[in-house]
Amino acid sequence: MNITERDKELMREAIRLSRESVEKGGGPFGAVIAKDDQIVAAASNCVTLYNDPTAHAEVSCIREACRKLGTFDLSGCKIYTSCEPCPMCLGAIYWAHLDGIFYANTRSDAAEIDFDDQFIYEEIAKPMNQRSTPIVPLLRDEALPVFRLWADKTDKTAY
């Protein structure tokens, strides 16, 4: 992707939001989603402010953009985030179908200030029976009929 002056402006806004978040007592992360170079949504990290471990800047920004645009598909949009997205945020970005990701600080930079996601990357790579948090299959035979119901549904909204 070519980097434009507008991309830099949008990243500076994400960085400004990260600074503002720290000043308000939140984490040092900010994000902006833009469509056609115009800001659709902006958010900062509110994990400690809302007592919500999913309130990362990117996830909050995706939620706001989806509400504003009235869609769960953010194709045609790009995200500018003050730090390389963590595994949760990266997953949300892919599920939202954003067209591009721009980031400032790296995950190594984040690790240096005690925001280290390396253990999550390592956990994902392990077989389920070797992960630090037990993951136990339960009642699959009772859950599978719901998947069949979905598969057979003719008027579903695919995503």
Catalytic sites, residue numbers: 58
3-class SS letters over 22-56: HHHCCCCCEEEEEECCEEEEEEECCHHHHCCCCCC
Token pair in block for residue 41:
């949504």
> Closest Cα to residue 77, out of 57, 55, 93, 60?
93
Q: How far apart are CA 88 and CA 121, in angstroms?
A: 10
Residue 9: what residue type? E
Is residue 65 classed as helix, strand or coil in its secondary structure? helix
Q: What whole-number distance in Å separates Cα of residue 122 and Cα of residue 102?
A: 24
